[in-house]
Amino acid sequence: MTSIKLYNVTMIMTNCYFITDNDTGDMAVVDPGGKSDALLNDIDKAQGELKYVILTHGHYDHIGYAKQLADKYNAKIICGEHTDEFLNDNVLNHSAFHPDFDKIEPFSGDILLKDGDTFKLGNTEFKYIHTPGHTKDSGCYLFDDNLISGDTLFCESYGRTDLPTGNDAQMISSIRRLKNLEGNYNVLPGHGMISTLEYERKFNPLMVRV
């Protein structure tokens, strides 16, 4: 099992998650879009090792501090195989349109995942689900009873599809796929409130329709 702590980073309040495998103390950070002193302090106080920086997709507000964080703690960057293109293109990652945001120097993921791939944080297995729609590289992660949904699924909403590589039809397909997962999960989105998959099945306007 894992412990999870949430931090809001960037001016648009991106949800960044600090995950610890309780058996081994191994740690991961999901979507560090900006520097968080509170997060850094918690990593330094912990007894384990930061193994991974995990990315749900390649937009600037989710990747802005990923490379610096990985370098600081000698952690590996994990992302979907299509995200690497975004990490090396400031138009695709949208940082080119936000001059008030720190410039993102091109970088690459260390571990690139295909749909259905798994990896372990300590004794906890994570499964990657490719969920294009918000962007072509968007993905989610299943572990324990949790679903990290990035900007695919929000509480009573879903990610916008009007940015480069966004696609309405793919979003519908991805939301349907999440709806059809067996069982219930805590939904940990890229922005906004934490929810549950069962709640979203009942009250998310797109998920209800698909």
What pLDDT band is residue 47 in, cutting at 50, 70 and 90? confident
Q: Residue 166 belongs to what domain range?
A: 2-209
Q: Which of 112, 2, 130, 105 is nearest to 54 (CA)?
A: 112
Neighbours of 114 (CB within 10 A): 11
- What is the domain-level CATH number for residue 198? 3.60.15.10
Average pLDDT of the chain is 96
Task: Give the number of domains in the chain.
Answer: 1
| Each residue's pLDDT tens digit, 80-100 | 999 999 999 999 999 988 877
Q: Which two tokens stand for residue 107?
A: 């970088």
What integer is the mean pLDDT of 96-112? 87
CA torsion, ordered 175, 62, 137, 192, to nearest 10 deg: 10
Is pLDDT at 209 greater than 90 in this prediction? Answer: yes
| Each residue's pLDDT tens digit, 130-180 | 999 999 999 999 999 999 999 999 999 999 999 999 999 999 999 999 999
What pLDDT band is residue 2 in, cutting at 50, 70 and 90? very high
Neighbours of 100 (CB within 10 A): 5
Is pLDDT at 102 greater than 80 in this prediction? Answer: no
pTM of the complete model: 0.97
Residues 6 or more apart whose CB falls under 8 angstroms from that of 210 comprise: 172, 175, 176, 179
- Angstrom distance (rounded) from CA 44 to CA 61: 23
